[in-house]
Amino acid sequence: MTIFNSHSREQLRRSYADAWAKRVAHAPLTPLEALIADVIEAHPEYQALVADAQKAEDFDAAVASPAENPFLHMGLHLAVREQVSIDRPPGVRELQRQLLASQGDAHQAEHALMEALGEALWQAQRAGRPPDEGYYLAAARRHLEASGRH
């Protein structure tokens, strides 16, 4: 989402805290805040962190593994939701539909795409090149095949 390009890490984290505070207060949300709040709502384990804006801003990812970084995790959810909404890369929406049909759970289907996206980003960073959409889709297909129903 290009809206985040000019934000610092602290500003991004504050946006999570602000969106969650509005959701909890039943205040009106922008469309982006609603997306963020929906992701937080699906993760009760992160709600205490984002409920405290200062704690969210001060979270030290350096002492957490990537698997323990709630902002990375939630950011990947947002990225996948955006990709599916615009079907970019082409075919990701259909893969999400197939994963959902196979796994029977939207959150788990999203996690399969997130794992594939994370793998594609890691490969790109390791190789010093832009992410490969074909690699990403192939990794997502592997998750679909591993689910055993397609």
Give the pLDDT score at 22: 98
Asked if residue 2 has pLDDT above 60, the reply is no
pLDDT, averaged across the chain: 91
**How large is the average pLDDT for residues 121-131?**
94
Q: What is the pLDDT of residues 30-56, one digit of tens each?
A: 999 999 999 999 999 999 999 999 999
Asked if residue 133 has pLDDT above 50, the reply is yes
SS (H, E, C) the chain: CHHHCCCCHHHHHHHHHHHHHHHHCCCCCCHHHHHHHHHHHCCHHHHHHHHCHHHHHHCCHHHCCHHHCHHHHHHHHHHHHHHHHHCCCCCHHHHHHHHHHHHCCHHHHHHHHHHHHHHHHHHHHHHCCCCCHHHHHHHHHHHHHHCCCC
Give the pLDDT score at 129: 95
Categorize the per-residue pLDDT at 67 as very low, low, confident or very high, splitting at 50, 70 and 90: low
Give the pLDDT score at 150: 46
